Structure 1
Amino acid sequence: MSVDVELNCDLGEGMPNDEAIMPYLGSCNIAAGGHAGNVHSISQTIKLAKKHQVKIGAHPSYPDRANFGRIPMDLPFPQLQKSLIHQIDLINTVAAKENLELNHIKFHGALYLMSLSSQKLAQQLAQLIATRYKGLALYAPYGSFMAKEALLHDIPVKYEGFADRAYLDGSTLASRKEAGSLLTNLDTIKSQVLSMIKSGIISTIDQKEYTIKVNTICIHGDHPKALEIAQTLAPIIQTRKNDR
């Protein structure tokens, strides 16, 4: 069985399994230097993606390598915007050397989560993408402020679901500090993904159910079972590599 949903993964973050995971993906989100990554890791990841015909996206974050971009930062938006532009443009520059173009943008960590619940931040980020990166898709959960604002700004949206994380509601992940927020049982992960793509339902950490739409399923590259998850989901999500 296969469905018209792709598999994506956050890569270029210094993990040892990027090369093994890449063949299973339809797209990858490349760390752009804010939370992890540098010119060398970006270049290596892009070359791997090119080899396996995987679409590439920028994965910018709060500029906070010490906390891996997973703690919200109280930055004035002009300062944050300057950092995001630097990060996305860096990916663009390295990709151009391989004659590749970016497919999408996916924000990372705390910035991603903040954009889902803060309409003001979502508006600011959408305006940035619409004016400077017109034509690029945005990965964001269905029903989130970020997805809604992107559509209002005529930004193509790929609705993202998560294979390896528990949900708090229909568009928000449970905090990593909460017990059970990181899914590690492969059967549980497979069941969650099947529910999202076949039934359009996500069951939350407190057993509530919400409607969800997904076009792409994320695996976190730093998950201890990232490769096993990719191998488990591959028979379900078989990306057509020539659909570019």
Structure 2
Amino acid sequence: MTPTIDLNSDLGESYGAWTMGEDETLLGLVSSANVACGFHAGDPAGILRTLKAAAARGVAVGAHVSYPDRVGFGRRDMDVASEELVADVIYQIGALQRLAAVAGTRVAYVKPHGALYNRIAADPRQGRDVVEAMVLADPTLILMGLAGAPVLRLAEDAGLRTVSEAFADRAYTPAGALLSRREAGAVIHDPDRVAARMARLAASGEIEAVDGSIIRLRAESICIHGDSPGAVAIAKAVRARLEAEGVAIRSFAPA
């Protein structure tokens, strides 16, 4: 059987006259699209355009929910009360579901963005809040999260399906966490280096940490940040290298 892996990217993040990423091009390279829901980025018209483009290409769609933080692009940590966080996540899922239906597609999964993603990887309270919101909004949704993070077990215990992911262009700590963007070398820009790392991960489940140690990750999806400089070149390199190694690019969810 041919091995498969999903490639995902954060899309729909442009806002008004401000353009972020190359959605159309990336949609021809990835198999799943994490679409902004308006809280950290994305305006309704732009989100709808991205959803229509994803539907036309048969790319699966996920809700890229976040803290309400447009100024900080969703990368500022927030100690949000449970009642607010649950409602915020339900609101974002619902908005994207309605736009997706108009675009001729559906929301298949949820991938939290930025600071919320990092927070729930280690904070069981906010992790449970996101899981509760998903169950209340649509229990058929799949949670995409950091490979090895305890929140994936919380979601599975609540009856949700989960997908673990690795990051193509991000450095890892020896503990398997993402190196903070405040640290030098947190984002890897060389397409060939990124492609080689992901080929090794797909083949052996191993990735080199920032200190040179080897960590093991079970990843069903690989994220390529759409807002990173050179994102298209990185996506092309990763896809070409994986396919050359006999790995098929396929989403874990129906489009």
> If the length of structure 1 is used for normalisation, what is the TM-score?
0.94
What fraction of aligned residue pairs are identical, expressed as a percent? 33
2 CA distance for matches of 1:121 and 1:28?
24
- Report what 2:17 is aligned to: none
- Report what 1:5 is aligned to: 5
Counterpart of 2:127 (choices 122, 126, 147) is 122
User: Is 2:50 the partner of 1:40?
Assistant: no
Cα shift at 1:3: 3.7
* 8 Å Cα contact 1:170/1:212 also seen in 2: no
- 1:206-227 CA-partner distances (Å, limit 9, x unpaired): 2222221111100111000110
* Pairs aligned (count): 243
Cα shift at 1:240: 4.3
User: Is 2:84 the partner of 1:84?
Assistant: no
Name the SS of the counterpart of 1:56 in structure 2. Answer: strand
- Report what 1:52 is aligned to: 57
Counterpart of 1:186 (choices 170, 187, 191) is 191
* 8 Å Cα contact 2:5/2:250 also seen in 1: no
User: Is 2:24 the partner of 1:19?
Assistant: yes
Cα shift at 1:16: 4.3
- Report what 1:163 is aligned to: 168
* 8 Å Cα contact 2:8/2:224 also seen in 1: yes
> If the length of structure 2 is used for normalisation, what is the TM-score?
0.90
- Report what 2:102 is aligned to: 97
- Report the RMSD for the aligned CA atoms in angstroms: 1.7
Name the SS of the counterpart of 1:167 in structure 2. Answer: coil
Name the SS of the counterpart of 1:125 in structure 2. Answer: helix
Cα shift at 1:132: 2.3
Select between 220-229 and 11-20 the one with higher mean Cα deviation: 11-20
Structure 2 counterparts to residues 140-159 of structure 1, below 5 A: 140-159=145-164
* 8 Å Cα contact 1:170/1:202 also seen in 2: no
Instruction: List runs of 5+ in structure 2 lacking aligned partners.
Output: 15-19
1 CA distance for matches of 2:83 and 2:128?
14
Name the SS of the counterpart of 1:134 in structure 2. Answer: coil
* 8 Å Cα contact 2:143/2:160 also seen in 1: yes
- Report what 2:177 is aligned to: 172
Cα shift at 1:113: 0.2
